[in-house]
Amino acid sequence: MKGICYKFIIGLIIVLLGTVSSCSATSKQTSGEAAWVKGYHSLNELTTATEIDMIAIGTIDRVVEIFNYSPLPEHADYGTKFAFRVETVLKGEYIKEIIVTQVGAPNKPGSDIGEDPLFQIGERYLLFLSKIVYPDTYHPTGEVLYPNTYNHPGPWGRYLIIDNKIYSLNNTPQASGTYHESGLNFNGVPLSTFMREIDSILQSQ
């Protein structure tokens, strides 16, 4: 567990947008366990969080890059940058295609986080996203710093869309039962209803 927490913390510092609040969640998957930096308990909290820059609907289109973000040569930690083809933006600026990062690599079994398994090409999602701003001191070896790169905040930030219905990750085969948050538990909610609820929350701010 200690090594996996180290992996996740390093990943957040180097690749992902970190936050200061703490919340832990334990994985039952073989890929690994994670102590998440921040968790969310309701759609209202997630939608209005200051670190959420974009809420978008779209499709995982392709793998753009697989990279090693570890500073230790003897201890590789992999990340993947996926192209996300955007259909609709509910919060933030519309961009036709963005990059979404994840810990893990498709060709490295067990390198992802069990609660937040790697995206699959062709999956359609509603994602809550935080834009990654790389510090001037970050100069990776062999990694391309693409503009419009975002991170989703763990399993709370991704909702699978099947037949225009919304499913939280705990209700999907990808990661069934890996986490449960009653305020974010969606199992076949119509996408239109979900979108209206998000819009209502944003309008009430």
Task: Quote the pLDDT of residue 36.
Answer: 57
For the stretch 104-140, pLDDT in tens is: 888 888 778 878 889 999 999 999 999 998 888 877 7
Token couple for 4: 């996996």
Task: Quote the pLDDT of residue 34.
Answer: 45
Q: What's the chain's average pLDDT?
A: 81
For the stretch 53-103, pLDDT in tens is: 999 999 999 999 998 877 776 788 888 999 999 999 999 999 999 999 998
Task: Quote the pLDDT of residue 37.
Answer: 61
Lowest mean pLDDT among 6-20, 96-110, 132-146, 177-191: 6-20
Q: What is the DSSP string of 97-162?
A: EEEEEEESBTTBTT-SBTTBPPP-TT-EEEEEEEE----TT---SS----SSEEE--GGGGEEEEE
Range of the domain at 25: 2-203
Task: Quote the pLDDT of residue 179.
Answer: 66
pLDDT band of 33, cuts 50, 70, 90:
very low
Task: Quote the pLDDT of residue 167.
Answer: 95
Contact indicator for 55, 128 with CB cutoff of 8 Å: yes
Q: Residue 85 contacts by C-beta under 8 Å, 6 or more apart in sequence?
A: 58, 59, 60, 61, 96, 97
Q: What is the mean pLDDT of residues 41-57?
A: 96
Count of domains observed in the chain? 1
Share of the chain above pLDDT 70, in %: 78
